[in-house]
Amino acid sequence: MTEAITDTLIKVPQHVAIIMDGNGRWAQQRGKTRVAGHKSGVESVRTSVSTAIKYGVKALTLFAFSSENWQRPEQEVSVLMDLFMFVLTREVKKLHKNDVRFQVIGDVSRFSENLQKKIKVSEDLTANNKGMVLSVAANYGGRWDIANAAKILAGKVSNNTMSVDDITEETLHQYTCLANLPELDLLIRTGGDFRISNFLLWQAAYAEFYFTETLWPDFDEQALINAMGCFDQRERRFGQTGEQIKI
């Protein structure tokens, strides 16, 4: 979608998720290191958060570090961890000031003790905020999320607090990472690839997908407005016919 969308959105997605892709390529195109691209991408995070708040989005979920990203060069992973710590230190107070609730989803046990402590301090600080929920997926994978929920249910069956017959889509959903948030409406991927890379597999069942060639550091306010404008024009049928939803 190339034409710019203005402020006349009718149907605003309540839950937006973004795969923030293209930092490394953005840097390489400018003769910089991949690390420089990740640092530049922080500004796009700030912009996306402020734009989502401005338009009344209830939940924003950002894919920061997948469970597969550990396979990247050791130096890049180390810098990403340092950058995560830096952002937590600098940005969470601003989020708190704007009544944003912050949380990290994923298996944080692999992170350093200092980073785990910083995550907990950040989550505790914003826990009672009533505004938008900002979820950062770190060491997260969609398959892990589903398997973890299944493991919890298996434990309940094992200790006789639940029967096998009680396991439904609804009960499994209760133990996935974003169970307490609105259903995912819009999943955006920047950087030109057309896949969701093991992100929010359960939650994306009926989400609208939006793919853009824009590299993450160039993803500005207008780019997010364009994505939400495209969502605004989609007909969401959820298995019904177009005629049924117009009744």
Active-site positions read: 21, 69
Structure tokens at 230: 């495209």
Burial class of residue 88, CB neighbours in 10 A (0-12, 13-18, 19+): buried
pLDDT at 5: 46
pLDDT at 108: 93
Q: What one-letter code names the amino acid at 240?
A: Q
Query: Exposure pattern of 201-221 as b/e (b: 16+ CB <10 Å)?
Result: ebbbeebbebbbebbbbbbee
pLDDT at 2: 38
pTM of the predicted structure, to 2 decimals: 0.91
Q: Which stretches in the chain have pLDDT values below 50? A: 1-6
Q: Can you tell me the distance from the alpha carbon of 151 to that of 172, in angstroms, rounded to the nearest whole number?
A: 10
| Residues present in the chain in total | 247
CA-wise closest residue to 134 among 181, 77, 71, 75: 181
Report which DSSP code applies to 140: E
Q: Can you tell me the distance from the alpha carbon of 35 to that of 37, in angstroms, rounded to the nearest whole number?
A: 5
Q: φ, ψ for residue 19 (rounded to 5)? A: -90, 110
Q: What is the pLDDT of residues 186-225, one digit of tens each?
A: 999 999 999 999 999 999 999 999 999 999 999 999 999 9
Q: Can you tell me the distance from the alpha carbon of 98 to that of 84, in angstroms, rounded to the nearest whole number?
A: 20
Structure tokens at 225: 């407005």
pLDDT at 10: 83
- Please, which residues bridge with residue 104 across strands? 136
pLDDT at 247: 54
